[in-house]
Amino acid sequence: MHGLTLFAFAGTLQYPSRWMPVVAVSKNSGVALLARTGTTVTVVNRLDPAKAWQYLNGTSMATPHVTGATALMALNYPADNVTQRIARLRSGVDAVSAFQTRAITGGRLNVARPLDMDSDQLPDWWELEAVTNLAAMNGATDTDGDGASDPDEFAAGTDAASDGDFFQALADKETADISGRVIRWRSAEGRNYTLLRSGSLFEPFTPVASGLAATPPMNTYTDLAVGVQNPLFYRLRLD
């Protein structure tokens, strides 16, 4: 089974040690009872008034979590091999004191951290695609100098390394056979937009249409609720 990553759960001791095991964790980041092999414990039956947690006996439930986390690494870092994907998960764990002597990493799985190891609120895979260097971008940079910050470019789905590609509404277009305003804007796959309108820059903008799905590379919306006589102001919002 070349290229597959196999998972076993705690307590399945007959499996080869090279497999990635998982360990049960309690609500307060302590080791669960069945993971405390060889120790003496006191079992306390306590009701959780908030009913936010349900007690389930076993660690089998953790295995699909780790499997899904590895699949997420494969999705975001397709060039990585299996060993590199596992290393990303291990390097991004949350340190838990109870795990220091019971897990190789001494931590709890955190699927968000391996996607942003430099903690700049930008996914590492996106930074590497744009500039190939994580240190070159952060939450305040504008790599291509087009006036749109790198976080805004990521949100809009535009190219942070191209000063000609940014979230932009184009001038409305009057059409002779349509009694309304035609608004156009650059769009990117997977995005949704809300169009707002106002009769003055000093008045509130109210929604004209929301949930407008992207139709890359350009979206067009005709505002038929108004004529073409009075000046109007439009604003686009990325949902």
Torsion over CA: 26, 28, 33, 38 (sign): positive
Is a pLDDT exceeding 70 seen at residue 235? yes
pLDDT in tens, 86-123: 999 999 999 988 888 888 888 888 999 999 988 898 99
Mean confidence (pLDDT) of the chain: 80
Give the pLDDT confidence score for residue 22 in this predicted structure.
Answer: 56
Q: Look up the pTM and report it.
A: 0.64
Q: What percent of the chain has pLDDT over 90?
A: 42
Q: What are phi and psi of 34, to 5 degrees?
A: -70, -15
Judge residue 238's burial from the number of C-beta atoms within 10 Å of its C-beta, 0-12 exposed, 13-18 middle, 19 or more buried: middle
Position 62 scores a pLDDT of 75
Would you list the domain boundaries of the chain? 7-115, 169-238
More confident residue, 5 or 221: 221
Q: What is the pLDDT of residue 113?
A: 92
CB atoms within 10 A of CB 107: 19
The string of pLDDT tens digits covering residues 176-229 is 556 678 899 999 999 999 999 998 999 999 999 999 999 999 999 988 877 656
User: Which pLDDT does position 169 carry in this prediction?
Assistant: 83
Q: Give the class (CATH, top level) of 169-238.
A: mainly beta
- What pLDDT is attached to residue 72? 92
pLDDT of 159-180, one tens digit each? 999 998 999 887 665 555 566 7
pLDDT of residue 34: 55
What is the CB neighbour count within 10 angstroms for residue 122?
A: 22
| pLDDT higher than threshold 70 for residue 64 | yes
**Model confidence band, residue 44 (pLDDT cutoffs 50, 70, 90):** low
**pLDDT, position 31:** 63
Q: How far apart are alpha carbons 95 and 176 in whole angstroms?
A: 65
Q: Which of 20-29, 32-41, 65-74 has the lowest mean pLDDT?
A: 32-41
Q: Find all residues with CB under 8 Å of 166, minimum gap 6, and list them.
A: 146, 147, 148, 152, 153, 156, 158, 186
